[in-house]
Amino acid sequence: PVSTLQRRQVWPSPAAQLSGAVSKPGKAIVGENNPSGQLDRLMRRETGIAADAKILKYDGRPFTPDIIARRVRKEVSTW
């Protein structure tokens, strides 16, 4: 089973929503369109929960389903 959470606005941060989404058993992967992992840091600061992996893309183009699937498979293969 897989669950997703897409945030369109990151501040003010709804800590309860973030915490509920990432506190379930399993691994958390954060996808971000920036080179530094800002959402992961915010999530860790607000909830105490850090991502197990990050998918960072910062070439100015949006994520496509193919890119996400490929990167998730790559991350999961290392667990």
At 23-60, the pLDDT tens digits run 666 788 888 899 998 888 888 888 888 888 999 999 99
- Closest among 64, 73, 8, 70 to 39, alpha carbons compared: 8
Residues 4-27, mean pLDDT to the nearest whole number: 69
Mean pLDDT, rounded, of the chain: 82
Share of the chain above pLDDT 90, in %: 23
pLDDT of residue 17: 66
* 77 compared with 9, residue with greater pLDDT: 77
pTM over 0.85: no
Burial zone of 22 (CB within 10 Å; 0-12 exposed, 13-18 middle, 19+ buried): buried
